Amino acid sequence: MENRINEESLNTNSPIKLETSKGLQSLPKGLKNQRPLNKELNSFLLDTLSSLHFKSMKCINFFYHLKGNASANSIRITKKEYKIKQVSIKSFRDATKLIKANKDLFNPHQVFKQNELKILGTFLAFDFSTPTHYFLFTIGREDFLDFTEEEVLQFKKFITFLPFQINLIFKNEYFIIHNALARNNVVKAPHQQAHLSFIHNEKMNLLGELLNTLKHELSNPLFGLQLSLELLQEEVFNSDELKPFIYEAKNNIARSQNIIENFSKLFSNTEALIEINIKKFTEEILTLTKSETRGVLKEINIEPNLSIYTYPSLLAQALFNLIINAAQAKATLIRIKAQLSKTRGKLVISVIDNGVGIPSEQLPYIYEAFYTTKSYGTGLGLYLTQNYIKILNGTLLYQAKEEPKETHFIMELPITGKI
Amino acid sequence: MNILIIEDEYLIQQALKKILEKKGNNVIATDSGRDALEIIKSDKFDRIICDLMLKDITGFDVIEEAKNLFLPSQISSLFILMTAYSSPSVLSRAKSYNCKVLLKPFKSLDEATDIILGRLNEKD
């Protein structure tokens, strides 16, 4: 059998190319009768298993789970057999948990108990996720011997280049469409976009892990400091000279807590896609901004039946930030419009205010992190907003209008579901 | 009011203890869930403020053990859970005990102490 994952492709940055037709021909006897879930995926897994680097390996298990589904799918491939089946979400979670419990994902894992997932003996594993799916990949010899350094090294190399290989899964879009059916017509991502967003996702996951650790490690000490300062403020300092220091220290702690909170939201994508009614949603967000927008006139111009599939907490945070920004720009009127742009297949939400606007010399910096012109700002509002919208696969545009003077922040979001 | 604080972050534990003492309460603090269970067996408390992630066992473990000592209705008024993790699963489990949950960091210290001292009606 030809090994298409060759030395060269593992050692360079070039995407690994698989030829579909050959991939299918290389399926062993008996395999052809199986209903292929995804030819590309099948041949990719088979080629991986039969590549020289994994010549000692006997079995690959590949699991994928559409978030929110009650079951996960398993593909088990050995040199003799090939099986696709549904497994319970519990087995899938148990396996993921076991692998996650071992923080160094490159380390070999062992499952001694034979469970539904049929992972036997020592195996190498990794897991990853996209906004819609969780994936788990394991490879092993089905024995209990340790892996050699060389085997672990090859596995690391394999993972390093995985983004290109996973690209194969998305290549003919079959995989996405197949699972999206259950989600009631969630629109498939174009090939290139899926590929880029996958790499983007991996980065986000890594950053997410880092930020979670930071959040975990910093929240408690900050909270301790916060409580201590409350105590000091009440009791120790009756001195007018020193009071401002306590006050400022408290503000600084609050700001740090805010930054941690906002960043961790940015990089966690555990939420499920949900259908939301845009008008109701906007009204709810406006209620949340009540104290910040006191005295400001608000106008909502949204069709009552307009709805999309999206990640609500990200969209909420983005909309919330834009409204607060408008209010802080001393607006007396904030208008929120939403409409479908059918020609471009987008939902366009605009937050329009008649406040002071943004001076042109500041425009290049408005999306930069920690850039602010407000004495009380963190400089994260627009930076985070833009990133939330990026995660939603949308864009954020800025427009200024004269006569009447208006600032427009326009979110364009893909219509990822039925309207 | 006799209050027990179970919290393994020293500064939080001590500051909260002091804040509540200044409001005229007797406060005992521990950083271990297992020790807390021993203390609960020997002393009587009006409130037990329990962090969820302790160094030895979880706050839920403490409550499960305490079920041997108290009625469910007592548990719900006695225990106040404190956590930085407001995930739906944590909140729904806390709800199953009918316990109030304080999210760390406190949005407002006054509000938090009111909840601890029982001056606020239960919020959903």
- Tell me the backbone φ, ψ of residue A266, rounded to 5 degrees: -60, -35
Q: Residue B64's CB: how many other CB atoms inside 10 A?
A: 13
Q: Report the side by side order of strands in the sheet with A346-353.
A: A297-302, A333-341, A346-353, A406-414, A395-401
The per-residue pLDDT for A143 is 72
Q: What is the mean pLDDT of chain B?
A: 89
d(CA B83, nearest CA chain A) in Å: 10
Minimum Cα–Cα distance from A229: chain B residue: B15
d(CA A271, nearest CA chain B) in Å: 11
Peptide linkage before A404 cis (omega within 30 of 0): yes
Q: Does B55 touch chain A (CB under 8 A)?
A: no
Q: What is the pLDDT of residues A238-283, one digit of tens each?
A: 677 778 888 889 888 988 888 787 776 665 555 667 788 899 889 8
- State which H helix or E strand residue B84 sits in: none
The distance from CA A337 to its chain's CA centroid, rounded to whole angstroms, is 27
Q: What is the pLDDT of residues A95-123, one digit of tens each?
A: 777 666 554 444 445 444 445 666 666 67
Confidence of residue A406 (pLDDT cuts 50, 70, 90): very high
The per-residue pLDDT for A353 is 94
Residue B58 is classified by DSSP as B
Pairwise CB contact (< 8 Å): B104 & A222: no
Which of A216, A221, A231 is nearest residue B18 as measured by Cβ atoms? A231
Q: What is the pLDDT of residues A33-86, one digit of tens each?
A: 333 445 556 777 777 787 777 778 888 888 888 777 788 888 888 877 778 888
Q: Does A256 touch chain B (CB under 8 A)?
A: no
Minimum Cα–Cα distance from A234: chain B residue: B19
Q: Which amino acid is at A143?
A: D
Q: Which of A288, A306, A287, A268 is nearest to A413 (CA)?
A: A306
Pairwise CB contact (< 8 Å): B11 & A230: no
Asked whether A132 and A153 are in contact (CB, 8 A), the reply is: no
Strand partners, A121: A111
- Tell me the backbone φ, ψ of residue B51, rounded to 5 degrees: -70, 150
Pairwise CB contact (< 8 Å): B10 & A222: no
How many whole angstroms separate alpha carbon A377 and alpha carbon A255?
Answer: 9
How many whole angstroms separate alpha carbon B23 and alpha carbon A83?
Answer: 66
Q: Does A219 touch chain B (CB under 8 A)?
A: yes
Q: Which of B7, B9, B83 to mutate to test the interface with A (most CBs of A within 10 A)?
A: B9
Pairwise CB contact (< 8 Å): A224 & B109: no
How many whole angstroms separate alpha carbon A155 and alpha carbon A419?
Answer: 44
Q: What is the pLDDT of residues A200-209, one digit of tens each?
A: 455 556 666 6
Q: What is the pLDDT of residues B16-75, one digit of tens each?
A: 999 999 999 999 999 999 999 999 999 999 999 999 888 888 899 999 999 999 998 899
Q: Does A107 touch chain B (CB under 8 A)?
A: no
Pairwise CB contact (< 8 Å): B104 & A219: yes
Asked whether A100 and A126 are in contact (CB, 8 A), the reply is: no
Which of B11, B22, B109 is nearest residue A224 as measured by Cβ atoms? B11
How many whole angstroms separate alpha carbon A26 and alpha carbon A6?
Answer: 16
Per the structure block, which two tokens stand in for A64?
């994928």
Count Cα atoms within 13 angstroms, Cβ side, for A102: 18
Q: What is the pLDDT of residues B84-116, one digit of tens each?
A: 877 777 788 888 899 999 998 998 899 999 999
Q: Does A221 touch chain B (CB under 8 A)?
A: yes
Q: Which of A207, A256, A198 is nearest to A229 (CA)?
A: A256
Pairwise CB contact (< 8 Å): A230 & B15: yes
**CB contacts, 8 Å: A224 with chain B:** 9-12, 15
Beta-carbon pairs below 8 A across chains A and B = 44
Q: What is the pTM of this model?
A: 0.48
Query: Strands B47-51, A297-302: parallel, antiparallel or unpaired by DSSP?
Result: unpaired
Which of B19, B22, B84 is nearest residue A227 as measured by Cβ atoms? B19
